[in-house]
Amino acid sequence: MCESLQMETSSQASASRGLWNSPRATQFSKETQDMLRLLKQESRVTSLKRKQINNQPKNETALPFTSDPAQSSPGKSVQKHWPVHTQKRTAKACRSGNSYEREKFRPGPTRDLEKEKRKLQNIFAHGTEQPGAGSSQKPPQHQSSEIPKKIDRYQEVLNEIQERQQFLEDMASLGQEKDYINIINTEISQKLRELEIMEKSHVPTFDTNAERTENAANKED
């Protein structure tokens, strides 16, 4: 009995849910259709998506709640721009680089300073670089002649001036020129003054003596 009732109930239920008894689809109002039309115009949708939206009110089917991610247009790649901050370098960082390094001083060939000092002392005291050089030289054979002595003295003064100039150049190469330049220039000035005196007073005497010697030789002939 119970089984027969259940069968009747199920048959009635299946009969009520026949092909022609399916639930009706949702109908859109005119406001909804106008809103969809406005959204289509304002939004950037593809032609396929727009066709689907146009067909849905005609078919009276519900609109999809979410869009298909596969059909959506890919978004534009956004490049990140990192902010640029200008940072000032500290004084320590600047000094740690090679910007402030000076060119290293490369001295020339070094000389023995003690030897140079002794050389200068000998020049001031004896007029020569070696103290015994002047005394060891043999005296000239004709010491009685006055003219050769004066000529030798003139050449000797010239040599002394050249020696002092050479000494200044040597000290300049050692970077010690300022310690001796005043003294050497004073010595050179004195020697030049001596040469001027010799040229004014003694040179005419040389010519007179030479003329007398030549005249005496002619008379003897």
pLDDT, tens only, 31-45: 887 887 777 776 666
What average pLDDT does range 50-57 have in this prediction?
66
161 lies in some domain: yes
Structural domain of 157: 144-220
3-state DSSP assignment of residue 87: coil
- DSSP states of 14-61: HHHTSGGGPPPPPPPPHHHHHHHHHHHHHS---HHHHHHHHHHHHHT-
Q: Is residue 92 part of a domain?
A: no
Distance CA 8, CA 16 (A): 12
Please tell me the pTM assigned to this model: 0.28
Q: Is residue 115 included in any domain, yes or no?
A: no
Q: How many domains does the chain have?
A: 1
pLDDT score for 138:
52
Higher pLDDT, 9 or 109: 109
Question: Is residue 173 predicted with pLDDT exceeding 80?
Answer: yes
**Residue 50 domain-assigned (yes or no):** no
- For residue 35, being part of any structural domain is answered with no
Residue in the structure block whose two tokens are 């002595």: 149
State the average pLDDT over residues 197-209: 61
Phi, psi of 168 (to 5 degrees): -65, -40
